[in-house]
Amino acid sequence: MKILIYFLLSLCLMSEVAFAVKAKTTTKEAPKKNTPFDVYELKGEQDGSTLLVIGGIHGDEPGGFFAPALLMDLYKVKKGKVIVIPNLNPDSILAFRRGIYKDMNRKFASIKRNDPDFDNVQAIKKIITSEEIDFIINLHDGHGFYREKWENSIFNPKAWGQTYVIDQKTLDNVPFGDLDSIAKQIESKLNQSLHYDFHTFGVRNTETRIKDEEQQNSLTFFAITHLKPALAIETSKNITELPLKTFYQISSIEALMEILGIEFERKFELNLENVAKKINDFGTLVINDNITLELSDIRNIINFTPLLAQKNHFEFTHPLGRTKRTKEGYEVYIGHKRITLLRPDIFPMQCDVKALEIELDGKASQAKFGETLDFQQNFLVKKLDGVRINVIGYSKKGIVSEHDILINKANIDGRYSLDKAKSIFRVEAYQGRNFCGMVNLRATK
């Protein structure tokens, strides 16, 4: 079961109110604030340990945020609980930078109230220290490949890549406090299923309390000083294939769940090929409840996207989906990947029509706005009083509304499809000045 918890909402509302009051007396710009992160729960029917998985603290480490996104989408927990945060630092993920408000992982010992990361850091601290949490992992991609002895600038003891990082060997008298032994169990399991021998994982103990002052500002050190066992999983930035990094991350999380006694089922077979497929599945974007875009094969630019002048509502199925307003329109992102640009065509949407009747290859169907329907040869949109139909990529001289016309797929210009494969076409309905909605028709073979 997935539950999206809007626990940050009250915090945000409070600060907005505070700002509104302040705005009367000052002309200063609104203080910068990171976007709130999302929290999902995978809860088993049987009670057991609770694991907190944190991804995306560093925005340029995609192994660290695609792994939790896949985890929450493709796993069912049967015993115990997994709390998944795929995007702790949303604005940095969008910018594909380590930290656009500086390094968030150096803000856990102290942070100023006006720091843009303040709300997110406070909120994650609250979750980390909550009673139910038994173990915490913080996911990264680090430089190089860790080796106990110096080999060269890439393979050496200072590298972070392919490591399980612990701050100290044990956390005494705490369940699962034997960090060194847990990390070594994961390490030995992972090292049996490497895709290349040189991807060997190691355990790196930073001995934070006595040796590493900088690391004392980190999330994991905050956790262990609050008696919560924690470790960081680092795949390597030098592994450029995102599916492979994500595969290693997910395999490590599975190994840890087994140690913690968390029982789970997967909705797929865990191998590199399937992980690659899932990473390239961007899901759908529903806009204003009247347009649905399938994102996996969408064109780089969608022209004349019917949108409201403001307050457009975007809903992604992918946990890393986001839009970014630019001069040209709305850029659509999955994680750090820019998927498409929606160039807006602005309309009011006061419309009382919710569906169209369409004959697909001669067979009548009801098509709600936002639905995708298949046809093989041709389609015909039935007349609705007062509604203008526009089939994008089709035109016939002198016709204002393209209803009651049998349209063959060969009559539509493929350049106007939504997808790169030139198979999905837009049927749009208008009432007066208002845009009512879009139905997608997919030509199949």
**Residues in contact with Zn ion by the rule CB under 5 A:** 58, 61, 140
The closest alpha carbon to 315, from 289, 340, 294, belongs to 289
Shortest distance (Å) from residue 232 CB to Zn ion = 8
Shortest distance (Å) from residue 160 CB to Zn ion = 7
Give 156 or 401: the residue with its C-beta nearer to Zn ion: 156
Half-sphere exposure of 388 (CA within 13 A, CB side): 11
Residues 248-270, buried b or exposed e (16+ Cβ, 10 A)? bbbbbbbbbbebbebebeeeeee
Q: What is the DSSP letter of 95?
A: H
Give 120 or 305: the residue with its C-beta nearer to Zn ion: 120
The closest alpha carbon to 333, from 62, 85, 68, belongs to 62
Instruction: Work out the angle between the directed axes of helices 242-260 and 63-74 (0-180°, nearest 10).
Output: 60
Shortest distance (Å) from residue 104 CB to Zn ion = 9
Please say whether the beta carbons of 308 and 342 come within 8 A. Answer: no
Please say whether the beta carbons of 306 and 291 come within 8 A. Answer: yes
Strand 46-54, strand 75-85: pairing:
parallel
Give 124 or 407: the residue with its C-beta nearer to Zn ion: 124
Tokens of 31: 């203080």
Shortest distance (Å) from residue 35 CB to Zn ion = 19
Which single residue brings its beta carbon nearest to Zn ion? Answer: 140
Shortest distance (Å) from residue 57 CB to Zn ion = 6
Give 43 or 140: the residue with its C-beta nearer to Zn ion: 140
Give 86 or 329: the residue with its C-beta nearer to Zn ion: 86
**H, E, C per residue of 293-352:** EECCCECCEEEEEEECCCCCCEEECCCCEEEEEECCEEEEEECCEEEEEEEEEECCCCCC
Give 237 or 318: the residue with its C-beta nearer to Zn ion: 237
Shortest distance (Å) from residue 201 CB to Zn ion = 16
